[in-house]
Amino acid sequence: QVQLVESGGGSVQAGGSLRLSCAASGSTSGINCMGWFRQVSGQEREGVAAIEVGGGSAYYVDSVKGRFTISQDNAKGTLYLQMSSLKPEDTAMYFCAKGQVPCYAGARWTRWSKYDYWGRGTQVTVSS
């Protein structure tokens, strides 16, 4: 059974930085897409960034390009999201997700339905 546990959220001022971590346990076969999503209460979950486990291209939503970087430490089984130049509109609950297909295959990586496993989330609050 795959388990994902996020950490690293917190409160920062605009312009600040945070690094989110997602510790993954359990294994799946094939090439897996892992992503970060965020959700504001009452709004749809939004795909922020994604990457294939073990390497491959990284994908970003336009609103975070140049500010966020997704990366992974395969030895530790950990996914990261380095967030810089944070804006108040980045405030949300951030979730880590893992799918059982590559990011480039099937549904677009930004679709939450592409992913089979989810963490419980970590809150990021950016004040102006």
CB neighbourhood size of 109 (10 A) = 26
Q: How far is CA 64 from the centre of its chain?
A: 12
Which are the contacts of 4, defined by CB distance < 8 A and separation ≥ 6? 22, 23, 24, 96, 97, 98, 117, 118, 119
Query: Which amino acid makes up residue 14?
Result: A
Percent of the chain at pLDDT > 70 equals 100
Mode of pairing for the β-strands spanning 10-13 and 122-127: parallel
Mean pLDDT to the nearest integer, 51-56: 86
The CA distance from 37 to 13, in Å, is: 21
Give me the percent of the chain exceeding a pLDDT of 90.
84
